[in-house]
């Protein structure tokens, strides 16, 4: 790759990279020899006394008074899907909008009911968890780098304001699980190659250890990229363990690692798209913009059935190191996060309750220097320590008023403190702190009618500026921006879900009011800043349908209709009232038809996206598009007892020329990140 670490980088950064690589090697040493234990006797875990699925984790979402979607990905799905992006994995969930940028540098943009649209990189406004561990930090921002979409076995989405459960930045919730615990041993490897220099290799193992379970995975993905200057690579690994501590206790452990190295092609103008849609921003190339990062996280959750109820205690830690040359600066970030949550819940015949506390600490050592063609320069722009502390308490209750009617209520109190210590001589006066507090209530009602469940709720969310948004000041100076505050969301929804014969459905209508809305804008260097401005109104409808067509075929459909507009918003001399929120289509439809015959399996899916605006003023729009995908595989091939799964995936079968991702409010009209034309991926998975 053209973007390499400078020889002048600090020894700490160099050592951290070796620690990450050694950790990866240790993972391989620790997991692969487990093959020798395949012949061990198996004992099924018996934990009938423990009912895992805390209220706050929406484990009881089938009875919850809010909209949620649940996606299972068994081995037959995991084996055949490339799993190169979250967008491809979660595309059948209504209410979820994911932008796949086509390169690794900025991560995918995740949006639920319009929450998260402002994000220039990473995730804002949506809480994300991986194997029970929060990826969303105390300041409300989340990074998806450590998630390997190819290994997701289950995804659950809570579609709506959820701060009463998860606190800051919970306009929606995405919970992902990679563990695939089994009662028998298994080991599988997969290799795939495809268009634009895409190569993927992975391994996965599951081992029963008496009454315990162990599962792990390892992968590497590389791409030359559809666009110029978009080469990138990821190494990811993860371990999940389930430890049986007795008839009333269970311990779950997880660890994950991600190492990334990528170039950043930037976004393009309309004129540049017309000239060369596969081109890169010239300034990004000349400054060698890109990213190198390493992230490690570990976590443990103890479940204990007590006389008072089910007690769960979680502790986790995250370490992230980042070298990030941008067109306007070189960012060196060292981030450490630690958190814990304790919850007690009890369920009786007609009622259920839960109480708990959360605490988390985020420590960022940030150093911005001049970018000298991709290497850190000598001019120090920012040298500061940023800390975020979050402490909260919550309670929830659910009462069965009759065999058909259930009432639920929850409340949460959060206190968040940002502090900054500036280390540049003469800037001591820029050090300081800011505090935010919030009370987040919710109230819901469900009604059972034959095989249909009707529900309604009123819920809330709040979202503070992240550390990045607080320290990025339009004046160019250091310190915390005192002019940016938290935004608040109030929402109501009405929905129905149920099953009739071979069909299941999920329908929800919602309305949300967002006040003190955080709005992004860019300067000529491409740096993004934020400000509070007025109110937004988000209204919409979500429809999900699954229908079995006989024993070997199925139809699946997800539709989202969005009416997201600015209301009473004024920026300088521009009135935004009535304008649509940029970056989100009014109509989004995803449909798929799958079938299996004589061992052959196939799925034909179509995605229709209506037009959308790329700026707050609604002066520039992006045309809608239709994309057709085809996935094929064979399930019945065995070679000397080894199961072989060959597969072929064709994306954008009709070779549509479209823009799948936008950079909102980009300076100079650089809004567009073009998507690839027709692409092929083919490979094979082998299970021993």
Within a domain: residue 522? Answer: yes
Cα 169-171-177 angle, rounded to 5 deg: 85
Taken in order 593, 596, 597, 599, the sign of the CA dihedral is: positive
Within a domain: residue 2? Answer: no
Range with top average pLDDT, 29-33, 64-68, 121-125, 284-288: 284-288
Per residue, the 3-state secondary structure of 434-481, as one string, reads: EEEEEEEEEEEEEEEECCEEEEEEEEEEEECCCHHHHHCCCCCCCCCC
The tens digit of pLDDT for each residue in 627-662 reads 999 999 999 999 999 999 999 999 999 999 999 999
Tokens of 383: 């040298």
Whether residue 580 contacts residue 565, with contact meaning beta carbons closer than 8 Å, is answered with yes
Within a domain: residue 654? Answer: yes
- Say what the pLDDT of residue 477 is: 59
Cα-to-chain-centroid distance, residue 659: 21
pLDDT greater at residue 181 or residue 626: 626
Which secondary-structure segment (H or E) carries 76?
helix 75-78
Percent helix, strand, coil in the chain, to 5, is 10, 55, 35
Is residue 321 over pLDDT 70? Answer: yes
- Distance between CA atoms of residues 254 and 240, nearest Å: 4
Cα 373-375-377 angle, rounded to 5 deg: 95
User: 3-class DSSP state for residue 282?
Assistant: helix
- Say what the pLDDT of residue 475 is: 61
Task: Please count the structural domains in the chain.
Answer: 1
Say which range, 46-60, 435-449, 475-489, has the weakest mean pLDDT.
Answer: 46-60
Tokens of 500: 């009739």
- Say what the pLDDT of residue 138 is: 95
Tokens of 190: 């997969």
Is residue 476 over pLDDT 70? Answer: no
- Say what the pLDDT of residue 278 is: 97
The tens digit of pLDDT for each residue in 239-268 reads 999 999 999 999 999 999 999 999 999 999
- Distance between CA atoms of residues 570 and 51, nearest Å: 51
Within a domain: residue 82? Answer: yes
Expressed as residue numbers, the domain containing 418 is 11-687
- Say what the pLDDT of residue 568 is: 72
Within a domain: residue 6? Answer: no
- Say what the pLDDT of residue 544 is: 96
Closest C-alpha among 300, 303, 308 to residue 345? 308
- Distance between CA atoms of residues 304 and 366, nearest Å: 40
Residue reference for tokens 């409340």: 411
- Say what the pLDDT of residue 450 is: 87
Closest C-alpha among 607, 630, 610 to residue 679? 630
Whether residue 278 contacts residue 227, with contact meaning beta carbons closer than 8 Å, is answered with yes
- Say what the pLDDT of residue 482 is: 80
Residue 289: other Cβ atoms inside 10 A: 27
- Distance between CA atoms of residues 63 and 56, nearest Å: 13
Closest C-alpha among 224, 181, 229 to residue 205? 181
- Distance between CA atoms of residues 136 and 119, nearest Å: 13
Within a domain: residue 5? Answer: no
Whether residue 237 contacts residue 151, with contact meaning beta carbons closer than 8 Å, is answered with no
Whether residue 140 contacts residue 116, with contact meaning beta carbons closer than 8 Å, is answered with no
- Tell me the average pLDDT of the chain: 88
* pLDDT band at residue 201 under the 50/70/90 scheme: very high
Say which range, 283-297, 375-389, 466-480, 598-612, has the weakest mean pLDDT.
Answer: 466-480
Q: Is 593 exposed, middle or buried (0-12, 13-18, 19+ CB in 10 A)?
A: middle
The CA-based diameter of the chain, rounded to the nearest angstrom, is: 75
- Say what the pLDDT of residue 526 is: 62
Within a domain: residue 1? Answer: no
The tens digit of pLDDT for each residue in 434-449 reads 999 999 999 999 999 9
pLDDT greater at residue 40 or residue 545: 545
- Distance between CA atoms of residues 528 and 526, nearest Å: 6
pLDDT greater at residue 16 or residue 294: 294
Query: 87-108: b or e for each residue (b if 16 or more CB lie within 10 Å)?
Result: bbbbbbbbbbbbbbbbbbbbbb
What are residue 393's DSSP bridge partners?
357, 413
- Residue 349's CATH number: 2.40.170.20
- Say what the pLDDT of residue 257 is: 97
User: 3-class DSSP state for residue 358?
Assistant: strand
The tens digit of pLDDT for each residue in 264-310 reads 999 999 999 999 999 999 999 999 999 999 999 999 999 999 999 99
Which secondary-structure segment (H or E) carries 165?
helix 163-166
Counting every residue written for the chain, the total comes to 688
Q: Is 238 exposed, middle or buried (0-12, 13-18, 19+ CB in 10 A)?
A: buried
Within a domain: residue 3? Answer: no
486 CB-near residues (< 8 Å, 6+ apart): 436, 438, 462, 463, 464, 465, 516
Is residue 7 over pLDDT 60? Answer: no
Residue 14: other Cβ atoms inside 10 A: 12
Phi, psi at 13, each rounded to 5°: -65, -40
């Amino acid at each position: 790759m053209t973007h390499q670490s400078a020889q002048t980088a600090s020894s700490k950064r160099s050592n951290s990279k070796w620690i990450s690589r050694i950790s990866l090697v240790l993972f391989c040493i620790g997991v692969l020899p487990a093959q020798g234990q395949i012949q061990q006797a198996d004992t099924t875990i018996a934990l009938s006394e423990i009912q895992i699925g805390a209220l706050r984790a929406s484990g009881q979402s089938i009875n919850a008074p809010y909209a949620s979607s649940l996606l299972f990905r068994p081995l037959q799905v995991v084996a055949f899907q490339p799993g190169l992006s979250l967008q491809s994995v979660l595309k059948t969930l209504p209410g979820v909008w994911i932008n796949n940028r086509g390169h690794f540098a900025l991560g995918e943009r995740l949006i639920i009911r319009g929450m998260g649209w402002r994000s220039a990189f990473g995730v804002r406004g949506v809480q994300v968890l991986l194997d029970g561990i929060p990826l969303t930090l105390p300041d409300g921002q989340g990074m998806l780098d450590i998630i390997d979409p190819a290994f997701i076995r289950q995804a659950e989405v809570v579609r709506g304001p959820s701060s009463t459960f998860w606190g800051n930045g919970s306009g929606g919730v995405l919970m992902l699980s990679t563990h695939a615990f089994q009662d028998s041993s298994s080991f599988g490897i997969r290799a795939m190659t495809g268009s634009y220099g895409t190569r993927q290799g992975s391994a996965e193992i599951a081992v029963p250890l008496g009454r315990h379970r162990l599962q792990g995975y390892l992968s590497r993905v590389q791409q030359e990229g559809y666009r110029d200057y978009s080469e990138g690579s990821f190494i990811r690994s993860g371990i999940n363990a389930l430890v049986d501590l007795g008839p009333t206790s269970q311990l779950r452990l997880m660890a994950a690692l991600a190492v990334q190295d990528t170039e950043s092609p930037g976004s393009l103008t309309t004129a540049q798209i017309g000239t060369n849609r596969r081109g890169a921003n010239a300034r990004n190339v000349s400054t060698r913009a890109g990213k190198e990062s390493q992230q490690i996280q570990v976590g443990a959750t103890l479940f204990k059935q007590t006389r008072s109820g089910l007690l769960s205690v979680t502790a986790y830690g995250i370490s992230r190191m980042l070298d990030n040359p941008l067109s306007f600066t070189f960012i060196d970030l060292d981030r450490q996060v630690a958190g814990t949550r304790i919850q007690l819940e009890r369920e009786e015949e007609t009622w259920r309750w839960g109480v708990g506390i959360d605490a988390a600490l985020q420590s960022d050592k940030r150093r911005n220097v001049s970018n000298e063609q991709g290497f850190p320069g000598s001019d120090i722009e920012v040298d500061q320590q940023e800390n975020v502390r979050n402490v909260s308490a919550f309670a929830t209750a659910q009462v069965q008023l009759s065999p058909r009617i259930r009432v639920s209520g929850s409340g949460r109190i959060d206190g968040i403190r940002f502090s900054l210590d500036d280390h540049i001589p003469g800037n001591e006066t820029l050090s300081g702190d800011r505090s935010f507090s919030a009370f987040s209530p919710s109230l819901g009602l469900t009604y059972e009618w034959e095989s249909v469940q009707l529900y309604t709720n009123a819920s809330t969310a709040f979202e503070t500026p992240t550390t990045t948004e607080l320290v990025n000041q339009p004046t160019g100076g250091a310190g915390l921006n005192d002019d940016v505050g938290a935004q608040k969301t109030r929402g109501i929804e009405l929905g129905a879900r149920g099953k009739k014969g071979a069909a299941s459905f999920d329908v929800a209508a919602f309305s949300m009011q967002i006040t003190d809305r955080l709005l992004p804008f860019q300067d000529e260097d491409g740096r993004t800043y934020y400000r509070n401005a007025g109110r937004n109104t988000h209204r919409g409808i979500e429809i999900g349908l699954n229908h079995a067509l006989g024993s070997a075929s199925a139809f699946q459909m997800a539709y989202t209709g969005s009416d997201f507009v600015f209301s009473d918003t004024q920026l300088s001399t521009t009135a935004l009232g009535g304008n649509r929120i940029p970056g989100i289509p009014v109509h989004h439809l995803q449909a798929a038809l799958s079938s299996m015959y004589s061992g052959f399996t196939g799925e034909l899916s179509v995605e229709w996206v209506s037009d959308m605006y790329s700026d707050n003023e609604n002066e520039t729009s992006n045309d809608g598009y239709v994309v057709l995908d085809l996935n094929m595989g064979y399930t019945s091939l065995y070679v000397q007892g080894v199961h072989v799964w060959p597969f072929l995936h064709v994306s954008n079968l009709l070779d549509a020329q479209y823009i799948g991702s936008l950079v909102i409010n980009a300076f100079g009209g650089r809004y567009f990140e073009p998507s690839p034309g027709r692409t092929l991926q083919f490979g094979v998975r082998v299970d021993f």
